[in-house]
Amino acid sequence: MTTTANHHQSFTLTRDIAATPDTLWRAWSDPALKRAWFADNDGPGWETLDHTLDFREGGTETGRFLHTSDDPAMAAFRGEHRNATTYLVIEDRARIVFAYTMSINGRVHSASLATVTFEQSGKGTRLTFTETLQGIGQTDGPEGRKHGWTALLNNLEQSVTQSAH
């Protein structure tokens, strides 16, 4: 983890995915489908302890994950990670706006506002993810968060394109 000054930083990720907006929407809104790409596809050294999703305006999503990597470069990430999300705006098959915090071993290290948009694009969907985050003390910062969301969007894309075949 790195020390991040107390100010907001933003990034945007855009993907053209070979799936319909309906398919992508279900991947975000259906608890079992969301868990498959978001929580249960963590990679080596990660274990999902819990994941819940109440996808509606005012609804919440929570996740608890255990990181046990022996890699010395990952020492600062060992322990229990939690995310706590509140859905603020849900525009059916068009836009999701949510706020979330992330913590490690009980210490909140970031708070974020994120927007996901879905636009028909050719035979698929253009998904745009924009996040503004506030780092708090020791945190992975915007580069770490961008890396994490890139991996999650890879999982999402793989999940929806495999299920289409």
- CA 20/CA 131 separation, integer angstroms: 23
Q: What is the DSSP string of 99-146?
A: EEEEEETTEEEEEEEEEEEEEEETTEEEEEEEEEEEE-SEE-HHHHHH
Q: For the chain, what's the residue count?
A: 165
Q: What is the DSSP string of the chain?
A: -EE--SSEEEEEEEEEESS-HHHHHHHHHSHHHHHHHHTS---TTEEEEEEEE--STT-EEEEEEEE----GGGGGG-EEEEEEEEEEEEETTTEEEEEEEEEETTEEEEEEEEEEEEEEETTEEEEEEEEEEEE-SEE-HHHHHHHHHHHHHHHHHHHHHHHT-
Kindly indicate the confidence band of residue 59, based on its pLDDT and cuts at 50, 70 and 90: very high
Question: Are the C-beta atoms of 90 and 69 separated by less than 8 Å?
Answer: no
Percent of the chain residues past pLDDT 90, beyond the cut: 65
Comparison of pLDDT for 143 and 27, the residue scoring more: 27
Match domain 2-44+53-61+84-163 to its CATH number in 3.30.530.20, 3.40.50.300, 3.20.20.140, 3.40.50.1980.
3.30.530.20
Query: Given a cut of 60, is residue 5 above it in pLDDT?
Result: no
User: What is the per-residue pLDDT for 42?
Assistant: 65
* Mean pLDDT of the region 9-37: 95
User: What is the per-residue pLDDT for 72?
Assistant: 77
**Could you report the per-residue pLDDT of 60-81, keeping only the tens digit for each?**
999 999 988 777 766 777 889 9
**Could you report the per-residue pLDDT of 75-119, keeping only the tens digit for each?**
777 889 999 999 999 999 999 999 999 999 999 988 999 999 999
Kindly indicate the confidence band of residue 143, based on its pLDDT and cuts at 50, 70 and 90: confident
